[in-house]
Amino acid sequence: MFSKISRYRALPDVVTVDARGASAESKALRPLPNVTGTFLHTLEEGERLDHLAYKYYRQPTQWWRICDADPDIASPRALLGNEPVVTYRFPSGIAGASGRPPWSELLRRVGDLVGVEDVTAEEVETQPVLVGGTSEHDPVYEPRFERAVVVRFNRLSVTLVEVSARLETVVSPNGPPALLGRVGQPITIPPRAARGRS
């Protein structure tokens, strides 16, 4: 039974039959509506969807409207980084400024861990370093790179310590891993819905 303001109330009932012939009644899946927002909100540390819903709609139970407008937020827990699947960025040091890192070996070793869903390598050229030259008019620069490995994994299957240990068999860490979450990212706040079913 759904309340009169439930977004599921108007969905049709469906009956499913399992392999043993038992039937169960439920509601049909609710399709994700096409939602656009009138403005963006930049997330801050500790914010929750129910608090944002109260702030913008004066009703904390309307948090799902924000999720509808931002499909990459799968649940209120995703906003807080409390979901089982997390993404970490591991700064990685490679010996020698211009030496090629062993990315393929690293991606294979880390990707083989049960619970790891995705591994990507980042290599961004940063400010080159002056290393010589015959005069001030023909300086010689050596390229420098900032390197990191981004790993998305299910922390119910593998721990951050296990992922870090596997990375360290190929590259040395160049700083602590950082959780890549939604803090500092903009989200769409859809307009307040018209009165009626929500």
Quick count: other Cβ atoms within 10 Å of Cβ 102?
14
Query: 175-179, long-range: CB within 8 Å, 24+ apart, which pairs?
Result: 175/91, 176/91, 177/88, 177/89, 177/90, 177/91, 178/88, 178/89, 178/91, 179/81, 179/86, 179/87, 179/88
pTM of the model: 0.59
Q: 3-state class of 168 per DSSP?
A: coil
Confidence of residue 197 (pLDDT cuts 50, 70, 90): very low
User: How many alpha carbons lie under 13 Å from residue 17 in its C-beta half-sphere?
Assistant: 2
Both structure tokens of 139: 């300086």
Least-confidence region, from 17-26, 99-108, 136-145: 136-145
Report whether pLDDT(53) > 50: yes
Q: Please state the rounded mean pLDDT for residues 139-157.
A: 84
Report whether pLDDT(95) > 60: no
φ, ψ at 10 (rounded to 5°):
-85, -5
Cα–Cα distance for residue pair 198/189, rounded to 1 Å: 16
Domains of the chain: 86-179 (3.30.70)
**Residue 52, Ramachandran bin (φ over 0: left; ψ between -120 and 50: alpha; else beta):** alpha
Least-confidence region, from 23-27, 142-146, 189-193: 142-146
- Ranges 24-28, 133-137, 164-168, most confident: 164-168
Averaged pLDDT score across all residues of the chain: 80
Report whether pLDDT(176) > 60: yes
Confidence of residue 54 (pLDDT cuts 50, 70, 90): very high
Q: What is the pLDDT of residue 36?
A: 65
Report whether pLDDT(8) > 60: yes
Q: What is the pLDDT of residue 161?
A: 94
